[in-house]
Amino acid sequence: MVGQGSLNPPPLPAREPKNGSSVSGATTPTRTIPRFLRLWFGVARLGIAVFLLWALVVNVPLRDARSRLLALPEVDHAAEVKTLREEGRLGEALVVADSISLTMGTFHGTALDRERRLTLEARESWLRKVKDAGWAAVTGNGTSGSALAGSTASDMLAVGDVRDLIVEGVKHAWPGGDDADPVMVELSTLGLATTVAPPVDAVPSILKWARRNGALSDELGAEVVAMVRDKRIFAAGGLMWDVSTIARGASPGGAVTILRGAKSSEDVARLAACVKRGPHGAAALVLTEEVGAKTLTSAPSRGIAAAREGVVVDASRRGSAGRVFLQSAAVKPLLRGHPLVRAAALLPTEAPALLASRGIQKTERGLWVWVSLAGVWATGELAWLGARWRRSLSAPE
């Protein structure tokens, strides 16, 4: 007969710990990692909230600087057009009038409309055109838009280029005379070469006109001379196309004004891109003159230059006060730009930086509301994540 003790079941083997946990229930790193991975969605939301909060907070100095700029009183645009017309800068006056008219609800019958019509009448005055254009065609000198047109017409017929080559040759040969200007010589040579290329035939004449009036820098002039002498056809063609773009968008006289802020062909390309994007950019560069152009050309990249265009447009509508603001320390946050804009500017095209700048600017209205909402979101996500983490540590496997 079997004893009573033999009826007891044999002892069970000890249970092996799972996922790296000990029998006593202590948590090891191999158990913690899967739990952390189960919270990845909460971690991702927290990261997005913190990133958004950071992006909004670093925009505060930019918002404050833009507010100071926009607080400056706007100028009388009709008076600006009148001043340009009285200075003989008729093409530039029309560029400014057309740009401002796009932002006005009612244009017809306003003072600006009246000044625009007076500018058109002055431009169509045949007596003035004949006098200025005829004198400029013969001498290559003058200050008005009609004079520039006359000089350009003579250059397009090769007469003006030959005239300038003769003038520079006489300077060089005449005892005790001034030295010949190599920039004028090479531009005249380039003008003869482009006589058969109508799209850019007027560009050498515009550059010569800028040189005579002190608007073509020595640096850009030296680069033009090097392009012609080294027969860098594609580089010279790119420069002429950019100048042609500025002249079409801002008038030939406006191109001369804008070129004052350019010291290289890269600078000209940035200014051409601004003009090409619309009439507001062309008018802004005309009104801010050398100050506005240098604001764009001093940018470390084309993307940053594109992002600065809005600042120049806003400053141009504040007249001389806007030009002073562009040269003050208060504009530095706007010129430095948002970190996201600087990051987008590293890409090979200007579009990402321009889009990032416009998007960030839209958050400036009610910025502190957005900052508060982002802060509440980040705090809530952090609290939720902490609670889930504590529950996951105390839950049994």
pLDDT digits 0-9 by tens, 238-297: 998 999 899 889 988 889 899 999 999 999 999 999 999 888 999 999 999 899 999 999
Which conformational region is residue 174 in: left (phi greater than 0), alpha (psi within -120 to 50 degrees), or beta?
A: beta
The answer to whether 182 and 223 are in contact (CB under 8 A) is no
* Mean pLDDT along residues 296-313: 94
Cβ neighbors of 197 (< 8 A, separation 6 or more) are none
Q: How far is CA 215 from the centre of its chain?
A: 22
* Mean pLDDT along residues 92-120: 86
| pLDDT-based confidence at residue 199 (cuts at 50, 70, 90) | low
Whether residue 310 has pLDDT greater than 90: yes
Quick one: tokens of 325?
């603001």
Quick one: tokens of 171?
């300077």
Tell me how far apart the alpha carbons of residues 187 and 373 are, in angstroms, rounded to a whole number. Answer: 60
Report the 10 Å Cβ neighbour count for 13.
6
For the whole model, what pTM was predicted? 0.76
Three-point CA angle 273, 318, 353, nearest 5°? 35
* Nearest Cα to Cα of residue 258 among 283, 240, 224: 283
Tell me how far apart the alpha carbons of residues 37 and 304 are, in angstroms, rounded to a whole number. Answer: 40
Q: How far is CA 115 from the centre of its chain?
A: 30
Residues in the chain: 397
Whether residue 85 has pLDDT greater than 80: yes
Report the 10 Å Cβ neighbour count for 103.
10
Question: Burial, 262: exposed, middle or buried (Cβ in 10 Å; 0-12, 13-18, 19+)?
Answer: buried
Whole-number pLDDT of residue 13: 57
Amino acid at 192: L
Whether residue 373 has pLDDT greater than 90: yes
Cβ neighbors of 263 (< 8 A, separation 6 or more) are 217, 219, 220, 297
The answer to whether 367 and 59 are in contact (CB under 8 A) is yes
Tell me how far apart the alpha carbons of residues 159 and 137 are, in angstroms, rounded to a whole number. Answer: 9
